[in-house]
C-alpha cells in the first residue's frame, strides 16, 4: 500500500431490476435494440417534455444504502447538473447534489474490505446519458461520432467513495465486493455490458487529482490505476506539474490519454429541478425495505461455513460471484460432499473461466451436470483427470457428462488382464525408472502416468498403482 497515493471511485450502476427508465415509460433494457428506437420526448430531452419519477428506483436506492451502511435522507431531491456535451441533448443531467438546498438519497456509509473500512461519501440516483458510438475507431481515432439515445434516461445509482483506496488491487477488490452486494440485492445484473462502470480519481503526493472516465471492469480499473500512479510519479520526479484533468483509459494499449481539463462543481451550476418536487422518504418505508432485504454476501459466507462445513476462504470465493454461490448450493441439494463441490468449483471450474475470460453467467454448465460428473467419479467410471478434461467442454457446450463420455469413449479401463499387459510393457520400456521405484515409491506415480498416457488417460489409476507395486515387489 502506498500512503502517498489517494484513490476515490465514482461507481455508476444501472438499476437493471427496473423495467422502465427513470423518468419515462420507455423500456430500460436497450440491449440489442436498433439505435434510437427506445426513446420518447422525455428521454430525448425535447422542449416541454415533463419527467415523471419511477418510484421503484427509490426502493432500490434505499436497499443499496442500507446494505452499504449509509444514513438515508428524509426526502429525495433531484437537481439539474449542467454540462454541454452531445450525449445529453437538454444540456443538463437530472442527478442529485449534496450541498445547500439539496441532498443525496444517502451518505456516510462504508464497505468493510477485509479489515479495512472504505467510506462511502454518498449515493445518488440519476439518469444515464446517451451512448456515444465511434464507428471508425476509438474515441481518439474515429473520424466521426454517432449518438444512440436508447440508453438516455436509464436509471443509475452513483456510488461515490472517499479517497480511502491506496492501490489498484485494493480498488479491484472493492469493486468486486460491491458487485457481489448489488447482485445479491437484485439491484443490478453486472454481467450485462456497461451495467457497472467507474470514474477513477487518482492523485500522488506533489500532484493534482486526475480523473479517468468510464472504466468498464474491476480488472481495467486496477490496470488504469497502476498506469496512472506510475505516470504521475514519473512526472513529479521529473519536476513536471501533474495538472487536474480528465483522461480516457485506452483498453487496447493499456494507457490513459488526455481528454479535457477537469471541471469543478461550480462549473455544473447545480440547482433543484423545478419539474420534480421533493419525494418524502418515511421511516416506515425504510423499515419495510429493511425487513424485505435479502441475504448479503458476508452473511451468506458465514452461513455457508456453518451449514456446509467448508472453509471461510472457500465461502468468500463462492459469494464473490453470486451465480457461483447459487451453483454451489444447487449442487449441494443433491450431492453431500460439500468440500469436494467447493474444491471443484473454485480450483477447476472458476480457474478455467478466469483463464479463458468466460463469466459464470456465460457458462452452460448446470448443477445437474456437476452432480452427474461427481456420480461418475465416485462410481469409478471416470478418473479425476478425465473429469477435469470434460469440465471445459461442459461449460462451453452444455453437453452432459454422459453425452461426452459416450462420444469420446472416456470410461475408465478396469480390465485387470488388459492393464497387466500395459504395465508389463511400461516396465520393459522404463527399466531405469522401475529400478528407482524400488528404492523410492514416489517414482511409482511417474510409471502410473506413463500407463495413463498409453491408455488415453482411461486406465483406472488405483488398479494401475496396485499392479505396478505388486510387480515391483513393493506390496
Quick one: how far is CA 125 from the chain centroid?
22
What Å distances lie between residue 211 and 152, 194, 295, 461, CA to CA? 23, 19, 34, 57
Is residue 85 located within the same domain as residue 56? yes
Place of cell 445484473: 189
Residues 312 and 301: their CA atoms lie apart, in Å, by: 7
Cα 13 from Cα 194, distance rounded (Å): 9
The per-residue b/e assignment along 249-272, b for 16 or more CB within 10 angstroms, e otherwise, is beeeeeebeeeeebeeeeebebeb
Asked if 170 and 32 sit in the same domain, the reply is: yes
Cα→Cα distances 118→96, 160, 168, 228, Å:
22, 11, 14, 21
Per-residue DSSP letter, 381: S
In this prediction, residue 83 carries a pLDDT of: 86
Shared-domain flag, residues 169 and 71: yes
Q: Exposed (0-12), middle (13-18) or buried (19+): which is 283, by Cβ within 10 Å?
A: exposed
Q: Are 465 and 396 in a shared domain?
A: no
pLDDT tens, the chain, 475 aa long:
567 999 999 999 999 999 999 999 999 998 889 999 999 999 999 999 999 999 999 999 999 999 999 999 999 999 999 988 889 889 999 999 888 778 899 999 999 998 899 999 999 999 999 999 999 888 878 899 999 999 999 999 999 999 999 999 999 999 999 999 999 999 999 988 889 999 999 999 988 999 999 898 999 999 999 999 999 999 999 999 998 999 999 988 899 998 877 666 677 889 999 999 999 999 999 999 999 999 999 999 999 999 999 999 999 999 999 999 999 999 999 999 999 999 999 999 999 999 998 989 899 999 999 999 999 888 878 888 889 989 999 999 999 999 998 887 777 788 788 888 889 998 999 988 988 888 888 888 899 889 888 888 788 888 899 999 998 888 7
Identify the CA nearest to 317 among candidates 115, 180, 165, 167.
Answer: 180
Task: Give the Cα separation of 412 and 459 in Å (integer).
Answer: 6
| Cβ neighbours of 117 (radius 10 Å) | 12
Same domain, yes or no: 69 and 206 = yes
Residues 58 and 121 in one domain: yes
Residue 435, domain extent:
416-471
From 266, 289, 312, the end of a domain falls on: 289
Phi, psi of 257 (to 5 degrees): -135, 150
Contact 392, 352 (CB under 8 A): yes
Q: Do the Cβ atoms of 124 and 94 come closer than 8 Å?
A: no
Q: How far apart are CA 93 and CA 265, in angstroms?
A: 14
What is the count of structural domains for the chain? 3
Q: Single out the residue in 356, 385, 408 at which a domain terminates.
A: 408
Rounded Cα distance between 32 and 178, Å, is 26
Q: Report how far residue 180's alpha carbon sits from residue 67's, in angstroms, rounded to the nearest whole number.
A: 11
Q: What single DSSP character describes residue 190?
A: T
Do 277 and 309 have their domain in common? no
Place of cell 494401475: 464
Phi and psi at 421, nearest 5°, equal -65, -40
Q: Are residues 338 and 452 in the same domain?
A: no
Q: What is the pLDDT of residue 309?
A: 97
By the 8 A CB rule, do 22 and 60 touch? no
- Is residue 333 domain-shared with residue 438, that is, in the same domain? no
The CA distance from 48 to 41, in Å, is 9
- CB burial of residue 198 (10 Å; 0-12, 13-18, 19+): buried
Q: Does one domain contain both 196 and 71? A: yes
95 shares its domain with 226: yes
Domain endpoint, select from 408, 427, 460: 408
Q: What does the block give as the cell for 139?
A: 474515441
Output the nine-digit C-alpha cell for 40.
420518447
Q: How far apart are the first and last CA of the chain?
A: 55
Same domain, yes or no, for 381 and 348?
A: yes
> Torsion angle, CA of 312/314/318/319, rounded to 10 degrees?
10
Q: What's the CATH code of the domain at 456?
A: 1.10.10
Grid cell, residue 307, equals 451449514
Amino acid at each position: 500500500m502506498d500512503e502517498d497515493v489517494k484513490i476515490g471511485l465514482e461507481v455508476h450502476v444501472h438499476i437493471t431490476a427496473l423495467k422502465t427508465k427513470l423518468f419515462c415509460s420507455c423500456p430500460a433494457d436497450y440491449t440489442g435494440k436498433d439505435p434510437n428506437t427506445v426513446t420518447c420526448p422525455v428521454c430525448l430531452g425535447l422542449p416541454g417534455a415533463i419527467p415523471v419519477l419511477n418510484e421503484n428506483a427509490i426502493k432500490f436506492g434505499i436497499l443499496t444504502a442500507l446494505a452499504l451502511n449509509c444514513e438515508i435522507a428524509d426526502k429525495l431531491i433531484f437537481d439539474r447538473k449542467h454540462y454541454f456535451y452531445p450525449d445529453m441533448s437538454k444540456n443538463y443531467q437530472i442527478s442529485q447534489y449534496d450541498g445547500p438546498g439539496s441532498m443525496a438519497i444517502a451518505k456516510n456509509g462504508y464497505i468493510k474490505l477485509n479489515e479495512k473500512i472504505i467510506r462511502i461519501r454518498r449515493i445518488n440516483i440519476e439518469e444515464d446519458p446517451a451512448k456515444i458510438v465511434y464507428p471508425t475507431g476509438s474515441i481518439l481515432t474515429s473520424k466521426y461520432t454517432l449518438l444512440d439515445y436508447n440508453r438516455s434516461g436509464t436509471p443509475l445509482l452513483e456510488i461515490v467513495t472517499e479517497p480511502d483506496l491506496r492501490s489498484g488491487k485494493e480498488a479491484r477488490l472493492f469493486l468486486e465486493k460491491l458487485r457481489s452486494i448489488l447482485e445479491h440485492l437484485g439491484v443490478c445484473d453486472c454481467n450485462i455490458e456497461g451495467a457497472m462502470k467507474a470514474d477513477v480519481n487518482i492523485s500522488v503526493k506533489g500532484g493534482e487529482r486526475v480523473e479517468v472516465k468510464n472504466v468498464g471492469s474491476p480488472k481495467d480499473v486496477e490496470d488504469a490505476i497502476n498506469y496512472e500512479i506510475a505516470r504521475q510519479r514519473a512526472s513529479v520526479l521529473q519536476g513536471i506539474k501533474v495538472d487536474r484533468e480528465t483522461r480516457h483509459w485506452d483498453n487496447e494499449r493499456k494507457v490513459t490519454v488526455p481528454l479535457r481539463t477537469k471541471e469543478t462543481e461550480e462549473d455544473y451550476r447545480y440547482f433543484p429541478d423545478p419539474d420534480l418536487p421533493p419525494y418524502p422518504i418515511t421511516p416506515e418505508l425504510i423499515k419495510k425495505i429493511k425487513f424485505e432485504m435479502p441475504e448479503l454476501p458476508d452473511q451468506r459466507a458465514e452461513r455457508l461455513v456453518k451449514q456446509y462445513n467448508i472453509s471461510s476462504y472457500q465461502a468468500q470465493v463462492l459469494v464473490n460471484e453470486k451465480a457461483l454461490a447459487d451453483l454451489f448450493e444447487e449442487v449441494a441439494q443433491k450431492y453431500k460432499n460439500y468440500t469436494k463441490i467447493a474444491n471443484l468449483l473454485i480450483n477447476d471450474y472458476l480457474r478455467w473461466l478466469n483463464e479463458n475470460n468466460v463469466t459464470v453467467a456465460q457458462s452452460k454448465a448446470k448443477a445437474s451436470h456437476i452432480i452427474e460428473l461427481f456420480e461418475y467419479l465416485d462410481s469409478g467410471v471416470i478418473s479425476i483427470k478425465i473429469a477435469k478434461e470434460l469440465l471445459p467442454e461442459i461449460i462451453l457446450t452444455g453437453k452432459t457428462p454422459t453425452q461426452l463420455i459416450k462420444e469420446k469413449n472416456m470410461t475408465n479401463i478396469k480390465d485387470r488382464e488388459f492393464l497387466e499387459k500395459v504395465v508389463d510393457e511400461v516396465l520393459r520400456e522404463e527399466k531405469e525408472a522401475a529400478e528407482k521405484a524400488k528404492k523410492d515409491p514416489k517414482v511409482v506415480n511417474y510409471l502410473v502416468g506413463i500407463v495413463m498416457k498409453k491408455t488415453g488417460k482411461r486406465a483406472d489409476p488405483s488398479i494401475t498403482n496396485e499392479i505396478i507395486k505388486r510387480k515391483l515387489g513393493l506390496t
